[in-house]
Structures are given as structure tokens and as C-alpha cells.
Amino acid sequence: MDIEKIVLILTERYHNNTSALMDVSNNAKDPFLVLISCILSLRTKDAVTAEATKRLFARAKTPAEMLKLTKEEIEVLIYPVGFYHRKTEQILEICRVLIERYDSRIPDELEELLKFKGVGRKTANIVVTMGYNKLGVAVDTHVHRISNRLGLVATKTPHQTEFALRDLLPEKYWIIFNDLLVMHGQNICTPISPKCSICPIAEYCKRVGVARFR
């Protein structure tokens, strides 16, 4: 399979688009804001996340500023993101740890980021790639589903997909691959009945597991 051709076609197709996290934070090079944006985006629609981050970052953009807000204030600012009570507690805990152990600086290493409560591999990879422009492969449900559907990998979990893609993808595509597949998954390669008839990479797709398509 011509991976380079797939990436080039998707890049051309979505060159005017930006990822949800790039849009909502509007501060893609600030690792702290990238991390908080990513936490808020989990199990939440992009439009809801966008508004919540705008409200929150208008009040606080650093760990110290965040801790000046009460739990109730943060909950009001981020509502109605999914699990907003739990996410508020997580944000406050991360801010406390950052100040106490990291001099308020977000770590730039994946393994160090994974030490924070509630931060998984996808979030850690996004912080490393978007916040520090370092190599990483962020895998969410879109990336996992489409990579398997294309036949690029044959994996059962996003964790397995990440490591399979690290072996398969040229490093120059690691950072952009998540954005491309997220946008493709939202617009064309949907979980149920994907729009194969208008897919720009249909000729490269094995349609693994696709029972019905448009």
C-alpha cells in the first residue's frame, strides 16, 4: 500500500482545515493549553469544546491562574463538556502537580506526561507533537478505525495501533497523521456507512470490516 500517496491525497483534501484542538486552543504552541484543551475534548463534540476552552482560557492560561479559580467557577466555565465535574478535578490536580513538581512547566517527554492522573497515550502524544513539535503518533478512535479499515494495520486497540504505525509510517508523517485521519473520519470515513463513493483514497482502501457504505 502506498502510504505516502494516501497522506499526500488527504493533505491536499484537508489543507484548508485545522484540527479541533488547534481551533479550540488558538494557542497550539502552548503545551499547557494544548493539554487542557485535549482533556476537555474527550467525549465532547468539537463545537462544545471550542466554546468551553474560550471561556476557560479567557480567565486562566497558566497553572497558577487556574488554581485561583474555584472548582465551581471552572465547572460553570466548561459546562456542558462531557464529565465536566471529573474534568474540573483533573485540571486542578494537574495544575497542583505542575507547580509542586515541575516548576509549572509541562513535561515534553511522553513517559513523564503519562504520570499525570487521567492523561493517556493519545493526550500525551498530542501534547508532545502540538505543544513541542516533537515526534509522536497520537491515536484516537478515528485513527484506530481508519488505519484498520484501510488495511494499514490489523490491531485490536488504539495502543496497539500506535506502535504499529510507529513502525509503519515514515517519521515525517507522524505528527500530521492524526489530524488527517480525524478530519477524514469526521467528514467521509464515518464509523457506520462511510461515504466510500466520494472518498479520495478509496482505491487504496481494503474496506476491512465495512459491511455497508455509501
Answer yes or no: do 56 and 112 share one domain. Answer: yes
Nearest-angstrom CA–CA distance, 126 and 116: 14
In a domain? residue 212: no
pLDDT band at 25 (very low <50, low <70, confident <90, very high): very low
The total number of structural domains that make up the chain: 2
What's the pLDDT score for residue 24? Answer: 46
CA angle 73, 126, 130 (to 5 degrees): 95
Nearest-angstrom CA–CA distance, 152 and 30: 32
What's the pLDDT score for residue 84? Answer: 97
What's the pLDDT score for residue 151? Answer: 96
Output the CA torsion sign for 141, 174, 91, 98. positive
Answer yes or no: do 8 and 39 share one domain. Answer: no
Percent of the chain scored above 90 by pLDDT? 89
Take residue 131 and report the three cell numbers written for it.
505543544
88, 116, 132 - which closes a domain: 132
For residue 156, what is the DSSP state?
S
pLDDT band at 46 (very low <50, low <70, confident <90, very high): confident
**Tell me: the pLDDT tens digits for 158-204?**
999 999 999 999 999 999 999 999 999 999 999 999 999 999 999 99
Domain that holds residue 177: 3-17+136-204
The domain that holds 162 is classified in CATH as 1.10.1670.10
**Tell me: the pLDDT tens digits for 87-135?**
999 999 999 999 999 999 999 999 999 999 989 999 999 999 999 999 9
What's the pLDDT score for residue 16? Answer: 73
In a domain? residue 68: yes
What's the pLDDT score for residue 209? Answer: 94
